[in-house]
Amino acid sequence: MKTVIVTACPSGIANAVLAQGVLARAAETLQWAVNFEVQSTFSQFDTLGGNDISAAELVILVGPVMDKARFNNKRVYQAGVGQCYENPVAFLEKAQEEAVVVSSLEEITELPEGVVSECRRIVGITACPTGVAHTFMAAEALEEEARRRGEWIKIETRGSVGAKNQLTAEEIASADLVMIAADIDVDLARFDGKKLYKTSTGAALKKTAQELDRAFAEAEIYHHTAKAASTSSNTEERMGVYKHLMTGVSHMLPLVVAGGLAVALSFIFGIEAFKVEGSLAAALMNIGGGSAFALMVPVLAGFIAFSIADRPGLAPGLIGGMLASSTGAGFLGGIIAGFLAGYSAKLIAEKVPVPTSMAALKPILIIPLLASLFTGLVMIYVVGGPVSALMSALTDFLNNMGAANAVLLGALLGAMMCFDMGGPVNKVAYTFGVGLLGSETYGPMAAVMAAGMIPPLGMGLATLIARRYFTAPEQEAGKAAMVLGLCFISEGAIPFAARDPMRVIPSCVAGGALAGAISMLFSVELMAPHGGLFVLLIPGAISPVLPYLFAIVAGTFVTGVVYAGLKVMEGRRLLNATAA
């Protein structure tokens, strides 16, 4: 079938290129002849020729496409970018079935089955642990799908730079639905009394249409109380533990970044220059190591508790985290303190009755006092000593382990970083590396970040090595992935993994394991937990530099070559099957 597909991204070009890549692969599977136009808000782009449009039997518009009037009187299907990722082949088949001939695209009034014609109002929040990729991609997918349906929507993003596109009280009051797509805990107090639906950023990104349908069907009136964070089943509670931990990590991360870079800057003046009192190096070390790192564990514990028990859990969590730091229990003690404080505060809120006259004192006096006493006493007399000994043993082991153990640890961390590219396994490895920064153990963090860059860099390299076996859109997607990889955004490889997981994931794991192993073998140290290769702009943030770059190059080479080889084998097999 002769088809024209136009992809567009409201925030630039990245999603337009990624959508083109997945749809080109799907069109190849269906043996469709497709001409693409990839629109960008940043620069000029190549437009379709008049002959291409005239010859097209089907026009598919993906995203907020500009200049739609040229497709009048053609069979047209419109969709959001988020719809094409989950099953691109099914998406194209649906487009073929549901496309309609229109005389003016601006006058389309038909909406998908199950969507009412009245314009409903949707507000929401997206948030992920690092606040870099999934937060904004999920928001964009939800906005495009809602607008395609004719709904009014506004999504507030809780990214690494804070809340953007913030919702006003009037917008919330007039909303028919509140959509929360978050992998961390967010304050929902302002949505009290509204119909609210919760999901993850991954589901909102990959299953946008289904999640919006479920939101309208399953949303319930939200009542903000101390019990609001409680879950209704054991399965949900187990997922909640991960969410609570990621809430703590996401709030701790800016402290680790600022502190690590301040320490690195102090080393510019000499490794021991900070020992000179009154010097700039000493001031930088005090800012980074003495202040930012000192707050790291208390903030981790405090916001784990906040995620579990809301505001009444914050003070006990901070106190427990401070005790974890003072007793030497480190980030492991901070995690334990956060959960102790959170669940004890939650238990007191739910199970300890108070007279009506004292109800107002419960969240500001009774819960913080009792939970703080319980958490503090347990940390001092039960947890502090053993966990402190464990942290000391772990730190000594990491600082003094032999080359073989270092290589094994680096390979394990690298493989975990590349296994699910931003998922739970990835976050466990990342949290381990970040947590050790507070103990002045910088090697695992270097291995973690080196490996995290491998998947997108490797996919980009594969599209260059086996160029003829990738479609033109896939080659463009590979270039975009390489840029994301340099920024330590592993999610740049997700479109490739979604299309071809059985080949992409093993290739990425192999390269990531090698990168992590090499980084640990050469005792590379990294002061900052994010930033990718751009951290090199900060003198002293990575040392030694050359072995670190070698680790990244080697891992990228392995992933790129392995996946390119698998693609070549697949292409030749299909060619032989066609010839037979």
Q: Please write down the HEC assignment for all residues of 377-402.
A: HHHHHHHHHHHHHHHHHHHHHHHHCC
Distance (Å, whole) CA 550 – CA 524 = 11
The percent of residues in the chain predicted with pLDDT above 70, rounded, is 90
Q: How far apart are the first and last CA of the chain?
A: 24
At residue 86, does pLDDT exceed 80? no
At residue 230, does pLDDT exceed 50? no
Structure tokens at 560: 């790129």
Q: If you average pLDDT over residues 79-96, what whole number do you get?
A: 84
Task: Return the number of other C-beta atoms located less than 10 Å from residue 469's C-beta.
Answer: 18
- The residue whose two tokens read 């937060």 is 135
Q: If you average pLDDT over residues 322-335, what whole number do you get?
A: 86
- For residues 454 and 559, is the Cβ–Cβ distance under 8 A? yes
Choose between 365 and 184: higher pLDDT: 365
Taking CA atoms, 455 is separated from 449, 450, 486, in Å, by 12, 10, 11
* Interval 246-303: pLDDT, tens: 888 878 878 877 887 787 788 777 767 888 888 898 998 899 888 888 898 899 999 9
- For residues 181 and 203, is the Cβ–Cβ distance under 8 A? yes
At residue 111, does pLDDT exceed 60? no
Full DSSP string of 462-478: HHHHTGGGS-HHHHHHH
What per-residue confidence (pLDDT) applies to 155? Answer: 92
pLDDT band at 396 (very low <50, low <70, confident <90, very high): confident
Taking CA atoms, 331 is separated from 242, 378, 384, 442, in Å, by 16, 16, 12, 14
Q: Is 512 exposed, middle or buried (0-12, 13-18, 19+ CB in 10 A)?
A: buried
- Interacting residues of 451 by C-beta distance below 8 A, sequence separation 6+: 413, 414, 415, 417, 418, 512, 513, 515, 516, 519, 555
Q: Which of 119-123, 346-350, 497-501 has the lowest mean pLDDT?
A: 497-501
Distance (Å, whole) CA 559 – CA 258 = 32
What per-residue confidence (pLDDT) applies to 141? Answer: 84
Which DSSP state fits 12?
Answer: B
Q: Is 184 exposed, middle or buried (0-12, 13-18, 19+ CB in 10 A)?
A: buried
- Active site residue ranges: 9, 128
What per-residue confidence (pLDDT) applies to 518? Answer: 95
Residues forming beta bridges with residue 153, ordered by sequence position: 122
- Considering the domain 121-221, what is its CATH architecture? 3-Layer(aba) Sandwich (3.40)
At residue 528, does pLDDT exceed 80? no
Q: Name the CATH superfamily, with its identifier, for domain 2-107.
A: Response regulator (3.40.50.2300)
- For residues 21 and 52, is the Cβ–Cβ distance under 8 A? no
Full DSSP string of 32-95: -EEEEEEE-SSS--PPPPHHHHHH-SEEEEESS-S-GGGGTTSEEEEE-GGGGTS-HHHHHHHH
Region for residue 114 given its phi and psi (left: phi exceeds 0; alpha: psi -120 to 50; beta: otherwise) = left
Q: Single out the residue of 208, 128, 118 nearest to residue 160, CA to CA.
A: 128
Torsion angle (degrees, nearest 10) of CA 289, 380, 353, 247: 30
Which of 354-363, 418-427, 478-487 has the highest average model confidence (pLDDT)? 478-487
pLDDT band at 345 (very low <50, low <70, confident <90, very high): very high
What per-residue confidence (pLDDT) applies to 498? Answer: 67
Task: Return the number of other C-beta atoms located less than 10 Å from residue 28's C-beta.
Answer: 15
List where CATH 3.40.50.2300 sits in the chain. 2-107, 121-221
Q: Single out the residue of 259, 266, 263, 261 nearest to residue 300, CA to CA.
A: 259
Structure tokens at 210: 């289904």
What per-residue confidence (pLDDT) applies to 129? Answer: 73
Spell out the alpha helix ranges (H) of 487-524.
494-499, 501-521
At residue 242, does pLDDT exceed 90? no
Distance (Å, whole) CA 221 – CA 44 = 47
Full DSSP string of 301-368: HHHHHHHHH-GGGHHHHHHHHHHHHHTT-HHHHHHHHHHHHHHHHHHHHHH----GGGGGGIIIIIHH
pLDDT band at 563 (very low <50, low <70, confident <90, very high): very high
At residue 478, does pLDDT exceed 80? yes
Distance (Å, whole) CA 326 – CA 324 = 6
Which of 54-63, 142-151, 356-365, 534-543 has the highest average model confidence (pLDDT)? 54-63
What per-residue confidence (pLDDT) applies to 14? Answer: 63
pLDDT band at 130 (very low <50, low <70, confident <90, very high): low
What per-residue confidence (pLDDT) applies to 113? Answer: 42
What per-residue confidence (pLDDT) applies to 132? Answer: 64
What per-residue confidence (pLDDT) applies to 271? Answer: 64
At residue 225, does pLDDT exceed 70? no
The secondary structure element, H or E, covering residue 156 is strand 152-159
Task: Return the number of other C-beta atoms located less than 10 Å from residue 404's C-beta.
Answer: 9
pLDDT band at 60 (very low <50, low <70, confident <90, very high): very high
pLDDT band at 403 (very low <50, low <70, confident <90, very high): confident
At residue 443, does pLDDT exceed 60? yes
Structure tokens at 416: 């975990």
At residue 378, does pLDDT exceed 90? yes
Task: Reduce the DSSP state of residue 159 to 3 states and report it.
Answer: strand
pLDDT band at 387 (very low <50, low <70, confident <90, very high): confident
The secondary structure element, H or E, covering residue 3 is strand 2-8
pTM for this structure?
0.57
At residue 576, does pLDDT exceed 80? no
At residue 236, does pLDDT exceed 80? no
Which of 267-276, 369-378, 461-470 has the highest average model confidence (pLDDT)? 369-378
Which of 172-186, 463-477, 528-542, 565-579 has the highest average model confidence (pLDDT)? 172-186
For the chain, give me the number of helices (H) and strands (E)?
22, 13
Q: If you average pLDDT over residues 93-117, what whole number do you get?
A: 63
Task: Reduce the DSSP state of residue 154 to 3 states and report it.
Answer: strand
Structure tokens at 464: 């260059």
pLDDT band at 431 (very low <50, low <70, confident <90, very high): confident
